[in-house]
């Protein structure tokens, strides 16, 4: 159904397969979409290549917005695990909380979580930017290779375990750091990058209140003296 230029799909009467097929069928003509009654269904709005604006009116299940390439997706509710997995570009915003592995393996784009994110947020990041207005669970930033993870609240244990060259910024308290993750200097360049990310995410918070974490670069190559850390 199209109302005032907005395509409306009600998942009480349409299937997830029909929703995604409709979104993919108009890849050459970006348009606005509203998804009603999602009821926590999985794999909503996945693999979108057009710059659609998709508003999901309610809770989403696993892998919402996965492999997103260009769309702007907003979820007015909570999200299950794997939010924005392998996102390439575009933007995803969740107005509630997100479960495990938000932004896993993301290569680009922006993910904003207005609530908390559970464990393993931003694992194996490869260029995505993730801003969490609340706190994150354990092992967030695990093996993060590139990109930025911004946590306005607290971070649980094993933050940045085995991290490569991603940057993690935390505004609150941090539990035990993961292997090879250390606190690093917040240079003016890093503060500027962080300020821009906070502005894009709509977060009114000074960059100076954050601490920066990254790799100590001791696990890049095998060293017998570090064997217990592998």
- Claim to verify: residue 132 and residue 228 sit in the same structural domain: yes
Instruction: Please provide the average confidence, as pLDDT, over all residues in the chain.
Output: 94
Full-model pTM? 0.94
- Claim to verify: residue 108 and residue 1 sit in the same structural domain: no
Q: How many domains does the chain have?
A: 2
- Claim to verify: residue 54 and residue 111 sit in the same structural domain: no
Q: What is the spatial distance between Cα 134 and Cα 31, in angstroms, rounded to a whole number?
A: 31
Q: What is the spatial distance between Cα 55 and Cα 177, in angstroms, rounded to a whole number?
A: 36
- Claim to verify: residue 28 and residue 135 sit in the same structural domain: no
- Claim to verify: residue 87 and residue 117 sit in the same structural domain: no
Domain end call among 75, 99, 123: 99
Domain end call among 44, 78, 99: 99
Q: Which residues pair with 146 in a beta bridge?
A: 126
The number of beta carbons lying within 10 Å of the beta carbon of residue 224 is 6
Q: Contact, 60 vs 76, CB < 8 A?
A: no
Domain end call among 72, 99, 126: 99
pLDDT tens for each residue of the chain, 230 residues long: 566 689 999 999 999 999 999 999 876 678 999 999 999 999 999 999 999 999 999 999 999 999 999 999 999 999 999 999 999 999 999 999 999 999 999 999 999 999 999 999 999 999 999 999 999 999 999 999 999 999 999 999 999 999 999 999 999 999 999 999 999 999 999 999 999 999 999 999 999 999 999 999 988 775 657 656 65
- Claim to verify: residue 110 and residue 217 sit in the same structural domain: yes
Q: What is the spatial distance between Cα 147 and Cα 229, in angstroms, rounded to a whole number?
A: 24
- Unique residue bearing structure tokens 């240079």: 187
Query: Do the bridges between strand 181-184 and strand 211-215 make them parallel or antiparallel, or are there none, so unpaired?
Result: antiparallel
Q: Which residues pair with 34 in a beta bridge?
A: 8, 55
What range does the domain containing 44 cover? Answer: 1-99
pLDDT at 30: 81
């Amino acid at each position: 159904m199209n109302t005032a230029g907005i395509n409306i799909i009600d998942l009480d009467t349409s299937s997830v397969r029909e929703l995604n097929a409709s979104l993919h069928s108009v890849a050459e003509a970006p348009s606005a979409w509203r998804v009603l009654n999602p009821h926590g269904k999985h794999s909503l709005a996945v693999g979108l290549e057009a710059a659609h604006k998709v508003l999901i009116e309610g809770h989403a299940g696993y892998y919402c917005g996965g492999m997103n390439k260009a769309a702007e997706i907003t979820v007015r509710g909570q999200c299950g695990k794997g939010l924005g997995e392998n996102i390439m570009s575009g933007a995803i915003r969740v107005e509630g909380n997100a479960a495990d592995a938000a932004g896993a393996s993301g290569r680009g784009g922006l993910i904003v979580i207005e609530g908390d994110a559970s464990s393993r947020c931003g694992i194996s990041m490869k260029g995505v930017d993730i801003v969490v207005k609340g706190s994150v669970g354990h092992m967030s930033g695990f093996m993060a290779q590139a990109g930025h993870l911004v946590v306005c609240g607290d971070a649980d244990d094993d933050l940045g375990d085995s991290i490569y060259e991603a940057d993690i910024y935390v505004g609150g308290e941090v539990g035990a750091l993961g292997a090879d993750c250390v606190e690093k200097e917040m240079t003016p360049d890093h503060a500027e990058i962080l300020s821009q990310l906070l502005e894009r995410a709509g977060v009114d918070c000074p960059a100076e209140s954050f601490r920066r974490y990254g790799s100590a670069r001791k696990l890049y190559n095998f060293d017998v003296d570090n064997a217990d850390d592998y």
